[in-house]
């Protein structure tokens, strides 16, 4: 089998990429420009990709490809309908990052509720050295206990976050899908969740029906003391509306690990917030603890081995 990894640099250098326990030829590229994809897959049987787009136009020019192994959970960069029509197996890895993303969200929540960016910024300006008392009060501090977390998405990550927040003594609510005719057991209406939550955490995949799930209307339903957290996909949030909501003090702030355009564009509306202490932006690394990446890559290799050994019924994604 000829295996080609198109974007190895989506993992840091200190993370070893294991080799599948099958006879293979393995070629790895740090990055692959869209114009180079077809050439690099000219003789490939299996393509490994994280974010390189494999649409119908590209795959139609790669007739030897029999499997796409995605080094992620999301597969929105792969044309699944085309793969289905051509019997190309597509395999992802789910659940590997549930704990680490939930922990990242918790770190956001602790930082925002305790106003840590304000205190850190003050200390960089030698604020404590100028204090006349043993402590220095810069901004209010809130405990997480008894606060309300509204979680949008009840999959592995949302469920893990709910468990951790419950253990901290928070009130945990899961949102029903916006516009749903019925409210399922254990969930509350989306708009009702926005109205009561101190934190709204987006833990859902991006789909056609939730593009810009959070926009001006949704921010107007939130409490002025509430925070938005998004570690899922950037297009779930209308970034211009988020900037307006924070600058207009409609909501207290936000923490994001994703953006509509990645890497972050120089023209992104989010750049207007990056110096504000009530806004935190990390570069899409909530999933990327060492242990999570090792689990992910082990899962990718397991998928490849199962495919090569003829266990193909579990694919297509």
**pLDDT tens digits for range 101-136:** 999 999 999 999 999 999 999 999 999 999 999 999
Token output for 129: 């050295």
Q: Is the CB of residue 2 less than 8 Å from the CB of residue 26?
A: no
Strand ranges inside 86-156, DSSP E: 89-91, 148-152
C-alpha 211/C-alpha 130 separation (Å) is 48
Alpha-carbon separation of residue 245 from 61, 117, 224 (angstroms): 46, 19, 9
- In the numeric block, which tokens belong to residue 19? 């080799």
Q: pLDDT, tens digit, for every residue of 59-94? A: 999 999 999 999 999 898 999 999 999 999 999 999
Residue 313 has pLDDT above 80, yes or no: no
Spatial CA neighbour of 197 closest among 163, 245, 229, 159:
229
Structure tokens belonging to residue 4:
């080609």
pLDDT(22) > 70 = no
* Residue 308 pLDDT grade (very low, low, confident, very high; cuts 50, 70, 90): very high
**Residues annotated catalytic, as ranges:** 233, 262, 284
CA torsion, ordered 91, 305, 310, 51, to nearest 10 deg: 20
- pTM confidence score: 0.92
CB 160 within 8 A of CB 146: no
Query: CA angle at residue 22 from 304 to 91, to 5 degrees?
Result: 0
CB crowding 81-110: b at 16 or more within 10 Å, else e: ebbeeeebbbbbbeebbbbbbbbbbbebbe
Torsion of CA 307, 51, 210, 99, to 10 degrees: 70
Burial class of 79 by CB neighbour count within 10 A (0 to 12, 13 to 18, 19+): buried
Token reading at 74? 């999301």
Residue pLDDT, tens place only, 181-208: 899 999 999 999 999 999 999 999 998 8
Tell me the average pLDDT across 38-65: 98
**CA pair distance 97, 156, nearest whole angstrom:** 9
Average pLDDT of the residues in 245-260: 98
pLDDT band at residue 23 under the 50/70/90 scheme: low
Look at the block and give the residue holding tokens 């050994």.
309
Question: 317: pLDDT confidence band, cut at 50, 70 and 90?
Answer: confident
DSSP 9-43: GGS-TTS--PPPSSS-EEEE-S---GGGHHHHTTT
Residue 246 sits at φ, ψ, to 5 deg, of -75, -45
């Amino acid at each position: 089998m000829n295996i080609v990894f198109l974007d190895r640099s989506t993992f840091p250098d200190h993370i070893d990429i294991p080799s599948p326990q099958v006879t293979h030829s393995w070629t790895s590229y740090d990055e692959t420009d869209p114009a180079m994809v077809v050439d690099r897959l000219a003789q490939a049987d299996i393509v490994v990709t994280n974010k390189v787009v494999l649409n119908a136009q590209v795959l139609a020019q790669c007739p030897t490809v029999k499997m796409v192994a995605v080094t992620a959970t999301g597969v929105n960069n792969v044309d699944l309908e085309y793969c289905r029509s051509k019997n190309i197996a597509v395999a992802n890895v789910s659940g590997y990052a549930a704990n680490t993303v939930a922990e990242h969200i918790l770190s956001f929540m602790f930082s925002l509720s305790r106003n840590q960016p304000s205190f850190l910024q003050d200390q960089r300006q030698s604020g404590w050295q100028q204090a006349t008392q043993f402590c220095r009060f810069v901004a209010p501090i809130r405990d997480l206990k008894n606060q309300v977390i509204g979680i949008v998405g009840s999959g592995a990550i949302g469920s893990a976050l709910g468990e951790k927040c419950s253990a901290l003594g928070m009130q945990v609510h899961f949102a029903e899908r916006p516009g749903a005719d019925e409210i399922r057991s254990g969930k509350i209406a989306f708009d009702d969740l926005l109205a009561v939550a101190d934190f709204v955490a987006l833990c859902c995949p991006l789909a056609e029906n939730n593009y810009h799930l959070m926009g001006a209307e949704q921010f107007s339903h939130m409490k002025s003391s509430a925070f938005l957290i998004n570690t899922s996909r950037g297009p779930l949030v209308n970034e211009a509306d988020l900037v307006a909501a924070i600058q207009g003090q409609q909501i207290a702030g936000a923490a994001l690990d994703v953006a509509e355009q990645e890497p972050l564009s120089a023209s992104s509306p989010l750049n207007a917030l990056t110096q504000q202490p009530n806004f935190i932006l990390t570069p899409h690394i909530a999933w990327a603890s060492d242990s999570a990446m090792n689990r992910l890559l082990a899962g990718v290799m397991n998928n490849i081995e199962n495919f090569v050994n003829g266990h193909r019924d579990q694919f297509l994604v």
